[in-house]
Amino acid sequence: MTSVSENTEAQDEKSQISRPLDSKSLIATTSASQLLKPDLAIEELMAEEQKCDTVSSYIWSDEDNDEILETINKDEPKEEPPTNRPSWANKIEYLLAHVGFSVGLSTIWRFPYLCFHNGGGSFLIIYILMLYLIGVPLLFLEMAASQRMRQGSIGVWKVISPWMGGVGYSSFMVCCIVGSYYSVLMAWNLFYLVQSFQSPLPWSTCPLLKNSSSFDPECERTTSTTYFWYRNVLKATDEIEVGGLPIMHLSVSLFVTWFIICVSMIKGLKSTGKMLYVSVLLPYFILFCLLIRSLMLEGAHFGLKNLLAAKLPALYSVEVWRRTGNQLFLSMGPGFGSFTAISSYIPRANNCVMDAFVVALLNLTASLTATVFVFAIMGHVATENTERCYMRNAETVLGLIASRVLPVEASPPESMYLHPSSIYSRWLKSLPQRLKDMVLPYVSTCSIAQELKEVMEGPGVAIVAFTDLICVFSGSTFWAITTFVLLVSLGLSTMTGITQGIITPLQDTFSSLGKYRKLLTVQ
């Protein structure tokens, strides 16, 4: 009986070894061996592990890996864009669309204003750091996602995660809201452009009263440019409760604004790309001309000196960093969905890393050019205001001498009218202390730094500031036309990007709208 049982066990072991290995037989054999013969079970388990390693290496061989990778590559979408989706005619039009959207009206005035009130050169350092540490990565993110997925803002976020589709809808709503008020800014600039074809300019002097040779007293209490803005452009009432019909000239300007945008985009990327050559390149050319002209003005060096003077405490101010970040997002426009819409019409093989750096660099170039231009102009205006202050003081002293309040020895030199900035200071310092104490109570303090600060106040009405700047130049009519062509072109290119951020998500989300693109553009 013992020999029979031993022969039976030996035959069972041989049959188990000769069978193909699988997981169930392996577990069963291991359990039986451990129960019957522990030493033999350990030896058999080691041999079976070696066989398992051989099997696993066979299963996951390099040939199989290559086959799996080939299968995955076959399943992935091809790099070629869909045949029914339009594309930009060339890379230049694509970059112009990005630059046109990012360089807007806020670049021309708000950037120099923030630079002046937030540390000058320190603000520039913070802005450049944030531009390349935050602005470029966000810009690259939008470009890469839309370029890969070939969708607008709504579609891109839905592909990333269905739960994040609300981000795309939010971007769409932001474009709608911003486009509504941005078109009003364009309407204002368009109206000023039409009014610029006059000599003298209608805002250069205060209007006369009817049937009288005296100026309007309300205008004399303020400036002629401010009076023209509130009474002629906005036709503002004295009280907010007073209503009325829409202002005709602004309504017509708004209609013309949307008509120009519609004509520019009615044929899709074909008409938009051709329009961008004018609306993007022309502002850079005009900015360069204005920069050269402003540097030739008297006092321009004083404005540039204040620009380059860096205030170190601003580098450690959280408030300055916050304002710089606000300007970055407002100027560049990441998150609006316009970069996403524009990049969805470019082939997937495009190098969007370089595109992000190019767009950021051109945006920075436009901001710095506008800043130098504005600071040069403001330095000139501050110098002129200071000289007028000196002349008023001199006339006041002469009047007091004529009325015998001051002695004749206190009279200023006649050459003061030639160079008041330098001669007035020398004359006041040369007076004896007794005469100086008699003169100072009757004259005002003239400070070019204080004048510059007053000139740079109030960025809320940027158009009023620009009309003040225009009056500085000789041949103000020509420069008024040039300046407002610049502003209208900037607004048009920005509105094109905003409108693209509205139309593209609608077409991608609702495929039926793609058949009626022209009708959608008009609406």
Of 49, 76, 104, 58, the C-alpha closest to 363 is 104
379 is in an annotated binding site: no
Cα 276 to Cα 284: distance, rounded to the nearest angstrom? 12
DSSP-derived secondary structure for 452-468: HHHHT--TT-HHHHHHH
363 is in an annotated binding site: yes
Of 338, 337, 342, 362, the C-alpha closest to 352 is 342
Residue 103 falls in which region: left (phi positive, over 0), alpha (psi -120 to 50) or beta: beta
3-state secondary structure of 88: coil
Packed helices 248-265 and 269-295: angle between N→C axes, nearest 10 degrees? 120
Identify whether the C-beta of residue 166 lies closer than 8 Å to the C-beta of residue 386: no
Of 120, 453, 456, the C-alpha closest to 310 is 120
Amino acid at 346: I
Residue 461 falls in which region: left (phi positive, over 0), alpha (psi -120 to 50) or beta: beta
Of 199, 376, 384, the C-alpha closest to 290 is 376
3-state secondary structure 342-408: HHCCCCCCCCHHHHHHHHHHHHHHHHHHHHHHHHHHHHHHHHHHHHHHHHHHHHHHHHHHHCCCCCH
Calculate the CA 111 to chain-centre distance.
10
Identify whether the C-beta of residue 517 lies closer than 8 Å to the C-beta of residue 310: no
Of 437, 445, 396, the C-alpha closest to 416 is 396
For residue 6, CA distances in Å to 1, 30, 34, 44 come to 9, 19, 17, 18
100 is in an annotated binding site: yes
Cα 357 to Cα 136: distance, rounded to the nearest angstrom? 6
3-state secondary structure of 335: coil
Amino acid at 147: Q
Identify whether the C-beta of residue 458 lies closer than 8 Å to the C-beta of residue 465: yes
Cα 517 to Cα 249: distance, rounded to the nearest angstrom? 30
Cα 435 to Cα 442: distance, rounded to the nearest angstrom? 12
Cα 453 to Cα 163: distance, rounded to the nearest angstrom? 50
Residues forming the annotated binding site for Na(+)? 100, 103, 331, 363
Residues forming the annotated binding site? 100, 103, 331, 363
